[in-house]
Chains A and B, each alone.
Chain A
C-alpha cells in the first residue's frame, strides 16, 4: 500500500523533504496551518503567538501529560501566501538542535485533494541525521522533566 506521508532524506545532505497528500481541498489544508485553534488540535501544542505575515513570528508550547511545559518551539515567518506557501524558521528553544529552515508548499491536486511539501534544511548533515534518528526527541519525549535544565547547562 502506498504511504500517504513520504520522507525523502538523501544520504549526506542537510535537508529532508516530507510530502503528504490530503483528502482535503487546498484551502482547508492551509487553514490547518493558519488558525491557532486548529493547529493546537492536530499538533497537540498550545499556540502562544502566531503572526501570519512576513516578518511575523510564532511560539508554540508543548506540555507533558502532567501539564509541565516540555518545550517551546518558535520561529519567524518569512513568507506567508495563503493556499500557496509558508517559509519560516523553526527552533526548539533551550535544546542543542539548532534552527531549521522550513519551506512549506501547498498545492491543489483536484477540487477535493491537495498536497503539502515540507522542505526542511538543517544546520548540517550530521545534525539532520541526529534529529531524524531521534524522532522521539522531536517534541515527543522531551517531556523528561529535568532534561531541559540539563541541556541548559551545556549552552
Chain B
C-alpha cells in the first residue's frame, strides 16, 4: 500500500525523473549519473536510494562497480503509467484546437 504511494512520490521529483530518463536505455554507475547534475553527489545518492527502494531502479554488480538500470516491469506496474503520456498529447491537441479555431489563412 505504501509502496504505491512511494512510487508516485518518487516520480514526482524532477531530478528523479531525469535520472530515470538517463538510465532508461543503458545502465550507469552512480558516479556517471551524478556527473549529469549540478546537485551535490550525496543528494544524487539519496535520489538513487529512493528510486531503488521503490524498485523503479535495479542495481547490478559488475566487478567492483554497481550499475543502475530501470526496472521496466515495475514502471509498467504503475497503474496510470500511461496517463502522463496521454496528458502530454491532450495538452498539445487542445492547443492545436485553440489555434485552428482562430486560424486565418495567410493567402
Contacts and interface: CB of A to CB of B under 8 A. Distances in A.
Given A28-B103, A137-B24, A154-B26, A132 B18 contact: no
Which of under 10, 10 to 19, 20 to 34, or 35 or more describes the interface residues of B? 35 or more
A48 B78 CA distance: 37
A141 interface: yes
Contacts, number: 110
DSSP class of A's interface residues: helix, strand, loop or mixed? Answer: mixed
A132 B24 CA distance: 11
B28 to A, nearest CB: 8
B14 A141 contact: yes
A20 B35 CA distance: 41
Interface in A26-62: 28-29, 31-32, 38, 41-44
Nearest to A95: B25
DSSP class of B's interface residues: helix, strand, loop or mixed? Answer: helix
Contacts of B70: 130
A29 B78 CA distance: 33
B75 A142 contact: no
B101 A24 contact: yes
Contacts of A20: 89-90, 93
Contact of A133 (B26, B78, B86, B92): B78
B72 A126 contact: yes
B1 interface: no
Given A18-B89, A129-B72, A135-B88, A147 B36 contact: yes
